[in-house]
Chains A and B, each alone.
Chain A
Amino acid sequence: MASEKNRRRPLIHWVLFSMRMVLGGIFSFSAWSKIMSPQALADAIVGFEIIPESIVLESAIMLIWLELICGIFMILGLWARATVIVITGMLTLFEIGLISVVVRGIEVNCGCFGQFSEMAVGWETIIRNMVQLVFCASLLYYGSWKYSLDLIVKVRQRIKQGLPGWRSN
């Protein structure tokens, strides 16, 4: 149903493509800014007072790698739907953490962009996250993966099977 509507509204492909690039860019940049100093992110996470200190460093490193992998996959459009779901999960967890910090009145830097993040967690950070969640929801709902590796792979598979190309999907 969504793909039927998409064919009649080509503009939405470009909007969704932009959202995909923005999300992929944000996550890739975020991971790149932290990858050389995971301890800094670990310290920021300690400030949130949510995760036990004994596993904070491991959690920080895992988060950085997940951000990087998802960011790159998102830009390339590889396993795009799965990547959006993982990113949605991460953003949801971040949002819960951010709201919890603001409500408890804890002054802490979110550590989102490593050395480039100087702002304390506040409502601006929460709203910024919400916008990204809206992007994810849009991508999942419309399911448009224009200019993605997934689409290229799908078309080639169909051609190999002797089926018509993507315009007939």
Chain B
Amino acid sequence: MNSKETFLQISALILFACIATWVELQVIGAPPEIVFLREDKLYSHLPAEGVQTSGKDRGEHGSETTTLPTVDKYCADNKCDISDLLAVIYISIGTTKNLFESGEAQFIDARKRDDYVEGHIPYAINMPVISFSSGWPDEIQLLMKELRAVVYCDGLSCDASQLVAKHLVRYGFERVLIIELGFPGWEEKGYPIETGEGDA
């Protein structure tokens, strides 16, 4: 078999795959966009419109903070209502504490199991990103869709909370929150911490 024939066959194989991909994308359509925003009063010294670059600003305590637009700003710019969006909102430690005390939220720890066992927010369920690789993890049955889902990992340097939040939105949670400063922020404030395997 000559090289030219082989080359044409390779091209044909790749072309078939491209055509099949195009057809499937037309059939399934684009997945709904999940928007990441921050709560309005989060680090109010930052401009509401956010910053155009992908860099991070320094917050009050020298910690990094997100430059995502606020909910109000985004909805005003896009003439939409928050209830129409698939949105994940970054919240402050203060808001987190309020939700924890009110019992209106369930906490999801997106870090690795070892980090979770060393210390986590009380009653938090451990669901690292890898647990979603083979479909929905068993722990997701422990969550109630009526309660807000608050996800955290190690703060802004960690992407795990974003990935887990996306999975929860796709699972059907209407409002998923992410603790912006993560577990380090909670721990720094001296708030209650639980160690060990927890309930999950």
Interface on A for B, CB 8 Å cutoff? 38-40, 43-44, 46-47, 57-58, 61-62, 65-66, 69-70, 73, 79, 81-83, 85-86, 107-109, 111, 114-118, 120, 150
Contact = CB atoms under 8 A, between A and B. Distances in A.
B51 interface: no
Interface of B: 1, 6, 9-10, 12-14, 16-18, 20-21, 24-25, 28, 31, 112, 128-130, 132-135, 163, 166-167, 170
A161 B134 CA distance: 53
Contacts of B25: 58, 61
A66 B14 contact: yes
B20 A118 contact: no
Nearest to A114: B134
A108 B129 contact: yes
17 contacts: A43-B133, A43-B163, A44-B133, A46-B163, A47-B130, A61-B24, A61-B25, A65-B20, A69-B13, A69-B16, A69-B17, A82-B9, A82-B10, A85-B10, A86-B13, A109-B130, A117-B134
Dominant SS among interface residues on chain B: helix
The 5 closest A-B pairs by CB, nearest first: A109-B133, A82-B9, A66-B17, A65-B20, A79-B9
Given A61-B21, A81-B1, A107-B112, A70 B13 contact: yes
Contacts, number: 81
B128 A107 contact: yes
A58 B21 contact: yes
Dominant SS among interface residues on chain A: helix
Nearest to A66: B17
A160 B196 CA distance: 76
Contacts of B1: 81, 150
A111 B17 contact: no
A73 B13 CA distance: 10
A86 B14 contact: yes
B133 A40 contact: yes
Nearest to A120: B130
Nearest to A78: B9
Contacts of B130: 47, 107-109, 120
Given A81-B6, A107-B128, 8 more contacts: A43-B167, A47-B133, A61-B20, A82-B12, A85-B10, A109-B133, A109-B134, A115-B134
A83 B14 CA distance: 10
Nearest to B5: A82
Most buried by A among B9, B25, B132, B167: B9
A107 to B, nearest CB: 6
A118 B133 contact: yes
B132 A82 contact: no
B10 A65 contact: no
Contact of B18 (A62, A79, A81): A62
A46 to B, nearest CB: 7
A70 B24 CA distance: 18
Contacts of B170: 39
B24 A47 contact: no
A73 B17 CA distance: 13
Contacts of B13: 66, 69-70, 73, 79, 82-83, 86
B31 A57 contact: yes
Contacts of A62: 17-18, 21
Given A109-B133, A109-B134, A86 B16 contact: no
A69 B14 CA distance: 9
